[in-house]
Amino acid sequence: MLNTKNILSIDDLSTDDIDTILSNADFFLEVLDREVKKVPALRGKTIVSLFFEPSTRTRTSFEIAGKRLNADVVNFSPSMSSLKKGESIIDTVRTILSMKVDLLIVRHSDSGIPKFISERVNIPVINAGDGTHEHPTQALLDLYTIRKKFGSVEGLKVAIVGDILHSRVAKSNIKLFKKMKMEVILVAPSMLLPEKNYFDEKVKHSIDEVINKVDVLYMLRMQFERQQNRLYPSIREYNRFLSLDIERFRRLKPESIVMHPGPVNRGIEISGEVMDLIDKYPERIKIEEQVSHGLAVRMALIYLMLSLSSEDLDSTRS
């Protein structure tokens, strides 16, 4: 049902694949509003979640998505595995495969590990975030959130603000938004941009240059854990040029939306005052909605990667 075996990068997906995933997400979003939030689509399938670095949203979302599809989901913990005894990653994976699993979901702090694993196994692999490379399922849920708000996404202006250098989310989003013919503007100082702007996007250095012009303001998390040296002089300086505070929030176009992949560093990317407006302005601040949409999108993606025919989902609907 998809034209690719693995989801390692946005490059793996055609526009038809993207439309298929998001269209199926509509059905699964409806399932999540039912009293019984499960469907029997993947009964008998086994999914193993290999997370080699910390995660709350992505790991929990994949786990719940698999269970809502009635698959068996096993969370692998590196700290409790034979990796601590010196076993290699690939030998660990081969051991897991010998238990007849159907899908691997991999997150790792090193770029390229999901691809490395996918080249050595005969089952599908989903990249749940690798180093500073990509995070394709985050980009898909972000696109879905934007599409649910605006309908058509072509021609929308999106500003991606903050630590683009270290952000795998930014890299996947830029690729996906461009593929869907959206206009992307990067907002970051030179020290938080790749040495070469290989995306060839417009670059601004202050959020004030775009705040009243964009349809989507996408705030990135400042990734201090990936910086060998602190690249920005101070939080105060970051707030001056890159943070979303209440005054800037008021200058946004009335129909524009604010997004963030989470977790938010309150007082850095977004002020606490703006974060406290989520319940008041859910149609404008989409951070929590991204999480719920992520569950529907990941259900759709897992289903499509493990299903043999479109008739399977038709029987699920009935």
Active-site pick, 20, 45, 46, 58:
58
- Measuring CA to CA, which residue among 318, 304, 308, 294 is closest to residue 62? 294
How many CB atoms lie under 10 A from the CB of residue 263? 10
Report residue 81 as tokens: 């595995």
**Regions of the chain short of the pLDDT cut 70:** 79-86, 196-199, 224-233, 308-318
Instruction: With residue 25 as reference, give the H or E element that holds it.
Output: helix 15-31
Domain locations in the chain as residue ranges: 10-133+292-317, 136-287
Closest CA to 172 of 140, 218, 131: 140
Q: Which residue out of 59, 107, 147, 149 is catalytically annotated?
A: 107
HSE-up (13 A, CA, CB side) for residue 154? 1
To which residue do tokens 């399922």 refer?
Answer: 137
pLDDT at position 318 is: 46
In degrees, rounded to 5, the angle at the alpha carbon of residue 187 between the alpha carbons of residues 15 and 212 is: 90
Catalytic residue, from 45, 68, 133, 135: name it: 135
11's tokens: 């490059």
CB 192 within 8 A of CB 162: yes
- The catalytically annotated residue of 4, 37, 57, 157 is 57
SS3 197: coil
Q: Which residues contact 218 (CB under 8 A, 6 or more apart)?
A: 142, 158, 159, 160, 161, 173, 259, 260
Please say whether the beta carbons of 2 and 22 come within 8 A. no
Name the residue among 75, 135, 61 with its Cα closest to residue 294. 61
Q: Catalytic: 298?
A: no
- Is residue 107 flagged as an active site residue? yes
User: Are both 10-133+292-317 and 136-287 of the same fold?
Assistant: yes
Residues 118 and 75: their CA atoms lie apart, in Å, by 18
The pLDDT assigned to 64 comes to 97
Contacts of 115 (CB under 8 A, 6+ apart): 8, 127, 130
Q: What is the pLDDT of residue 233?
A: 63
The pLDDT, as a whole number, for residue 178 is: 96
Does the annotation count 236 as an active-site position? no
Please give the pLDDT value at position 224.
63
User: pLDDT value at position 294?
Assistant: 98
Residue 203 β-bridge partners: 186
CATH node for 10-133+292-317: 3.40.50.1370
Those residues whose C-beta lies under 8 Å from the C-beta of residue 163, and which sit 6 or more positions away, are 170, 188, 192, 220, 221, 222, 223
Whole-angstrom distance, CA of residue 145 vs CA of residue 279? 17
> Does domain 136-287 fall into CATH 3.40.50.1370?
yes
Q: What is the pLDDT of residue 138?
A: 98
State pTM to two decimals: 0.92
Q: Vertex 144, ends 141 and 145: CA angle to 5°?
A: 90
Q: How far is CA 43 from the centre of its chain?
A: 26
Cis bond before residue 136 (omega within 30° of 0): no
CB 164 within 8 A of CB 170: yes
